[in-house]
Amino acid sequence: MWKGRFAKDTSSLVQEFGESISYDWRLYPHDIAGSIAHARAQKTAGLLTPEEFSQIEAGLLAIRDDIEAGKFEFKASLEDIHMNVESELTKRIGAAGAKLHTARSRNDQVATDTRLYTRTEIELLLEALSGLQDALLDRAEKYAGTVIPGYTHLQRGQPVTVGHHLLAYVEMLERDKGRLSDARKRLNISPLGSGALAGSTINLDRRAIAAELGFDGVTTNSMDAIADRDYIAETLFAIGLCGVHLSRLSEDLILWCTAEFGFVVFSDAHTTGSSLMPQKKNPDVCELTRGKSGRLVGNLMNILVAVKGLPLTYNRDLQEDKPPLFDSIDTLKLILAVNTEMIAAMEIREQRCLAAASDPMLLATDLADWLVKQGVPFRHAHELVGKAVAESVQSGVPLDQLDLTKIDPVYTEDAKSVFDLQRALAARTNPGAPSVENVKSEVARWKAKA
């Protein structure tokens, strides 16, 4: 492609190996916006006449319209989005187009484009995350008082409610939004004007360019500006962790919809059947979400490994930053959309939940707390309740029906008052605890925040 230095054309295999237009074409709106801002600064500096700037701006906007209309032919021989746009511009408007690249490099150009792209996509992801939170809040409100067992080690532990359980994921998604918002703040600095690595002897107004593109400022070290891909790694980390959270939600829901749990029913629209077993109703959305989370984590590893051994400044390895970025963003957007739809339509089988939550063993800790209130040290109370549990298991008599006074005189008949499930739940009033009133209050708080 470059005639000045080279006597031979680039090998067709090298062209195929090195092209990025097959995926970086999606940077076109940001590449064009950056080029217009760059050209405006050239005009201000006297490098372009007003007429030349007008030609460039109109030509770039026409190219953008053609791309959006599907009328633009991308050429692999021109390698990337930058050269495809610039080559077509020069072909359309002539000499003025050839001036556009003055005082910039594809190195600072692509760094600018990917920052603009990532910024835009983060904003879309934040909206999608809020949508999923809204769906979870709607279900949490509907099932604020639906009691289920809470689990540790997948063993029944203590009573909670469906609403409280779903609100845990609202909290996780809020942290995901915070990480993405933080990443957006750090990436919103313009590298344009850093050139190939050492700026340019032709000094354009970098701050004016940055302001036009909506950046908060400009980078202060040209070498770091060109080599930096922290903003991609940070974004992929936030996306990867969000994927992990969604995978955990999926695992809960997969368990809940089994015949063994039977807590949840998904709409037919969000499940699939079996090619052999006609009775099956499979939670494919949850399973695919769980599977795709590994892909998101893998994309983070991809960028970290690609960057870890690179000397300053630009190396062609950095071309490999975009496929994992694009893939993670596309994947998470789809995951969020389909999970929002699925959660909004899912129903909880409240009688099955109540049956599971009616296991008196869920209130064993409450029984220990009752003993503590009688003046028994907790470790001794824990031992006494353990003896009662052992007796229940061995005798087959439910814990709430045992004659506890035969286990130890410290027990009285009042101890059985512990086994009132609604009363036990209502007693959990500390901030963050799962009383129904707390859950309703939390739902209201989240909705007011939105």
Question: What is the secondary structure of 227-253 as a DSSP string?
Answer: H--HHHHHHHHHHHHHHHHHHHHHHHH
pLDDT of residue 292: 98
Q: Is the torsion defined by CA of 354, 356, 361, 363 positive or negative?
A: negative
Give 362: exposed, middle or buried? Use CB within 10 Å, 0-12, 13-18, 19+. Answer: buried
The sign of the torsion formed by the CA atoms of 170, 333, 231, 189 equals: negative
Tell me the mean pLDDT in the region 414-439.
96
Where does residue 80 rank: exposed (0-12), middle (13-18), buried (19+ CB within 10 A)?
Answer: buried
Say which residues have a Cβ less than 8 Å from residue 323's Cβ, sequence separation at least 6: 23, 302
Cα gap 423→432, rounded to integer Å = 17
Query: 46 with 36: CB under 8 angstroms?
Result: no
The token pair at 272 is 């699939």
What is the per-residue pLDDT for 105?
A: 98
For residue 296, give the nearest of 250, 235, 337, 231 by alpha carbon.
235
For the cut 70, the answer to whether the pLDDT of residue 1 exceeds it is no
Average pLDDT for 394-409: 95
pLDDT, mean of residues 385-389: 97
**Does the structure show a pLDDT above 70 at 2?**
no
Out of 167-171, 177-181, 393-397, 446-450, pick the least confident: 446-450
Q: Which domains can be identified in the chain, with CATH numbers? A: 12-102 (1.10.275.10), 107-199+221-355 (1.20.200.10), 359-419 (1.10.40.30)
Known catalytic residues are 153, 274
Rounded CA gap, 89 and 436, in Å? 64
What does the pLDDT read at residue 117?
Answer: 98
Percent of the residues in the chain that have a pLDDT greater than 70, as a whole number: 99
Q: Does the pLDDT at position 322 exceed 80?
A: yes
Q: What is the mean pLDDT of the chain?
A: 96
Asked if 72 and 63 count as a contact pair (C-beta separation under 8 A), the reply is yes
Residue 125 pLDDT? 98
What integer is the mean pLDDT of 339-363? 97
Q: What is the mean pLDDT of residues 421-450?
A: 96
pTM value is: 0.95
* Residue 333: pLDDT over 80: yes
Tell me, what's the pLDDT at 208?
98
Q: Distances from the Cα of 96 to the Cαs of 4, 165, 200, in angstroms?
A: 20, 62, 20
The CB density around residue 198, as the number of other CB atoms within 10 Å, is: 12
**pLDDT surpassing 70 at residue 3:** no
